[in-house]
């Protein structure tokens, strides 16, 4: 029975001690080295703080950063990744909620880490790893562990402007890693190319598939996402056969034309999650790499990355929406209407999730926890937690779930029309001259604002959209940009766009 993610690390280190677990531009760690650093760092921590305490990790995106995560876990604590480039004010907001017991840092971020640590202890991770492992102490910590203990806390942007810390347990991650192995053929032969920052939950597929299966993950340098030729060369040189990217990254690569010139034909798995994937660019990938399995995944951070998935098994026109499919194993999804009743055929409802995958709530934030994690309204007999995602969905004629967008992306336009902005975006992204884009709503002016990048001019774009959309769904204003602002997770930064183009 697996109750701790370190059980995976122990097993993989025993089976493949000299195999590279995680590699980066400047360093790589074998499974044996990763385990050794985790135990050394864990022994160091255990001598300074107690169990079940938050350990912030303020390090660059390297294999050693991952070792610091597992050092925290070895000490019976949970890790909290920090983006080294985030403003000091945001770190302060996080620390005000988190009150970390300890901060690990690397040499590049030593000064910044010590400046924000406050009352928390802090140490250079490389120095902590000079500690000899204390087998008795580490064994006692593991014996006291239960699978509902926290594994990590990821801070996401809160609607109030205060970051929310999403708590994920060992049990939820074990469930996820096992599902990835069983449903998506993640196994010891995989060579994964990591795109997602470690502060983003999509990275957990790469990290924990590697730990469980004894496969290898290479951290793809940021520059590869700017220079497509460099990306193709990196994927080929490292024999990467599995990628799990946000759609914006896949869209950018497809739009560059590199897939026609130098397709990464060694890819066996192309998975994506985090945004809507337009079929126009997906079809470019499918034509260029027809032998790969493509999978559209869906899930907010609060449900351990993914709760629904669709393995692409048929053809789609460029302007078709892509299903998010069905619930993952051991997960239940409900679509509930405004009266908290299951939706009927063709009806839209809020996507709600139940199961082991659920977060334990928001760290040190009972008010927001009670709003999002609620009693299942269909069950009046015993306590059953349900997470309200705030996303809208419906079932198609095949029984597959179709994602429609955020509840707060549903607008009332011209006084009477209920519109999902996601439907307009699907039509927008299907246009050949559009590289990427999104739609916003200016409630004060009752205007739909289309923000896009690409060669299409406003008049040609409006004419093309008029063929696909009814008049009441047509954008009222178009904003053409050379480049869209992106978040650290490589999603379109809608907050910045709203601040810029909607006074």
Series of mean pLDDT values for 10-residue runs along the chain (503 residues): 97 98 97 98 97 98 98 98 89 94 97 92 98 98 98 79 90 98 97 96 98 98 96 98 96 96 98 94 98 97 97 96 98 97 93 98 96 97 97 96 86 73 89 92 91 88 90 92 88 90 87
Cα separation of 112 and 413, whole Å?
Answer: 47
Burial status of residue 493 (CB atoms within 10 A of its CB: 0-12, 13-18, 19 or more): middle
Cα separation of 281 and 251, whole Å?
Answer: 6
Rounded to the nearest 5 degrees, what angle is found at the Cα of 391, between the Cα atoms of 341 and 400?
75
**Contact of 144 with 344, CB cutoff 8 Å:** no
306: helix, strand or coil: coil
Nearest to 91 by CA among 58, 45, 53: 58
Enter the DSSP assignment of 148: T
Cα separation of 405 and 494, whole Å?
Answer: 13
Q: For position 161, what pLDDT does the model report?
A: 59
User: Which residues have a Cβ under 8 Å from the Cβ of 290 and sit 6 or more positions away?
Assistant: none
Instruction: Report domain extents, the chain.
Output: 26-167, 414-501
290: helix, strand or coil: coil
**Contact of 434 with 461, CB cutoff 8 Å:** yes
User: Which residues have a Cβ under 8 Å from the Cβ of 119 and sit 6 or more positions away?
Assistant: none
Percentage of the chain beyond pLDDT 90 is 84
Q: For position 56, what pLDDT does the model report?
A: 98
pTM over 0.85: yes
As assigned by CATH, the class of the 414-501 domain is alpha beta
Q: For position 488, what pLDDT does the model report?
A: 82
Please, what sign has the CA dihedral across residues 95, 97, 103, 105? negative
Cα separation of 347 and 342, whole Å?
Answer: 9
Query: Beta partners for 362?
Result: 166
Any idea which residue has 């499919």 for tokens? 325
138: helix, strand or coil: helix
Nearest to 408 by CA among 395, 396, 422: 422
Assigned CATH topology for domain 26-167: Rossmann fold (3.40.50)
């Amino acid at each position: 029975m697996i109750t701790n993610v370190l059980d995976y690390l122990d097993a993989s280190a025993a089976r493949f001690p000299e195999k590279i677990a995680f590699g980066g531009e400047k360093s790589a760690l074998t499974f044996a080295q990763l385990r050794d650093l985790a135990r050394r760092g864990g022994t160091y921590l255990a001598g300074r703080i107690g169990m079940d305490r938050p350990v912030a990790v303020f390090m660059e995106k390297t294999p050693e950063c991952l070792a610091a995560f597992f050092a925290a876990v070895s000490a019976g604590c949970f890790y909290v990744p920090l983006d080294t480039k985030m403003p000091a004010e945001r770190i302060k907001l996080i620390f005000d909620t988190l009150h970390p017991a300890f901060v690990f840092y690397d040499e590049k971020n030593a000064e910044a880490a010590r400046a924000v640590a406050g009352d928390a202890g802090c140490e250079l991770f490389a120095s902590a790893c000079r500690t000899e492992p204390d087998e008795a102490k580490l064994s006692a910590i593991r014996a006291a562990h239960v699978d509902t203990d926290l594994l990590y806390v990821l801070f996401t942007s809160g609607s109030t402007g205060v970051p929310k810390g999403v708590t994920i347990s060992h049990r939820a991650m074990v469930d996820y890693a096992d599902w990835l192995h069983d449903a998506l053929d993640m196994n010891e032969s995989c060579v994964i190319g990591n795109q997602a920052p470690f502060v983003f939950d999509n990275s957990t597929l790469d990290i924990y598939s590697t730990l469980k299966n004894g496969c290898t993950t290479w951290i793809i340098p940021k520059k590869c996402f700017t220079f497509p030729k460099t990306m193709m060369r990196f994927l080929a040189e490292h024999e990467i056969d599995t990628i799990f990217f946000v759609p914006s990254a896949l869209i950018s690569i497809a739009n560059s034309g590199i897939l026609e010139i130098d397709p990464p034909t060694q890819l066996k798995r192309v998975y994506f999650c985090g945004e809507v994937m337009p079929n126009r660019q997906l079809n470019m990938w499918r034509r260029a790499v027809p032998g790969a399995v493509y999978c559209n995944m869906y899930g907010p951070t609060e449900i351990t990355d993914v709760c629904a998935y669709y393995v692409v098994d048929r053809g789609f026109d460029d302007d078709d929406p892509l299903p998010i499919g069905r619930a993952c194993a051991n997960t239940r999804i409900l679509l509930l209407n405004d009266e908290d009743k299951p939706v009927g055929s063709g009806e839209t409802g809020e996507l709600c999730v139940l199961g082991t995958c659920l977060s334990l709530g928001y760290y040190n934030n009972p008010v927001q926890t009670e709003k999002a994690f609620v009693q299942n309204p269909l069950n009046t007999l015993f306590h059953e937690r349900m997470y309200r995602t705030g996303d809208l969905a419906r079932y198609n004629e095949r029984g597959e779930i179709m994602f429609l967008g955020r509840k707060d992306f549903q607008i009332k336009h011209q006084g009477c029309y209920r519109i999902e902005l996601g439907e307009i975006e699907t039509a927008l992204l299907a246009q050949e001259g559009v590289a990427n884009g999104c739609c916003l709503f200016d409630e004060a002016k009752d205007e739909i604002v289309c923000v896009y990048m690409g060669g299409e001019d406003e008049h040609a774009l409006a004419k093309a959209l008029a063929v696909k959309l009814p008049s009441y769904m047509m954008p009222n204003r178009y904003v053409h940009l050379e480049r869209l602002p992106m978040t650290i997770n490589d999603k379109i930064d809608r907050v910045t766009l709203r601040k810029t183009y909607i006074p």
